[in-house]
A = this chain, B = another copy of it.
């Protein structure tokens, strides 16, 4: 059965990469969407993506897309699912692989350029109808983000460098669609090495919360020396 069709005839596929950019703000997780400035699906909202260049490795293509859109460099990218329905792209057989990046919304200044007419941060639970099979891609990728939030300390890539414990709690509440008890949440995160800054929230009309930052070095040591496993 195999290889009945001449091997070379198979070099007629295209391969793209869709880069889901997640951000977090005021209790909601957002995805960065673009309004497409080109066919197909011109004028519709979509995940930023591009074809993979002939000599480009997949993570490099994901970095490139992220950097072009947000000017952010050097971020860790996570591979998601691959989508390849024969008819998913109107112009031919294009298989696409989702990648996702976690960014601090306030640190980046995404601008629409040749990519897009317009860009927009949309709460992941309030998505409009998207181009291609991008609703499916985004849902599956968010699901995977949820899995990773449980076992890797990547919430700190979404939170501001200095954050309050309540901001952290709300991130998990949104991701898992669950209400958490404040006291219990704080007991649970006790083993995570956080540096308590001697700084407080400002401009709040209630008792200001303490600011923390993630202790990357302490975390690495914990993992290496005491076999610590992050779990939420």
A-side residues, CB < 8 A to B, are 1-3, 5, 7, 10-15, 38, 50-58, 64, 68, 79, 81-82, 84-86, 91-93, 95, 97, 114-115
Contact A2 B50 (CB under 8 A): yes
A57 to B12, CA, bound (A): 15
A96 to B: closest C-beta gap in Å: 10
A131 to B: closest C-beta gap in Å: 15
Contact A82 B97 (CB under 8 A): yes
Number of copies: 2
Contact A57 B82 (CB under 8 A): no
Contact A85 B57 (CB under 8 A): yes
Q: Which residues of B contact A5 (CB under 8 A)?
A: 53
Give me 29 A-to-B residue pairs in the complex whose CB atoms sit less than 8 angstroms apart, sorted by A's number. A1-B64, A1-B114, A2-B50, A2-B68, A2-B114, A3-B50, A3-B114, A5-B53, A7-B91, A10-B14, A10-B15, A10-B51, A10-B54, A11-B14, A11-B92, A12-B12, A13-B15, A13-B52, A13-B54, A15-B84, A15-B95, A57-B84, A57-B85, A57-B86, A58-B82, A58-B85, A58-B95, A79-B82, A82-B97
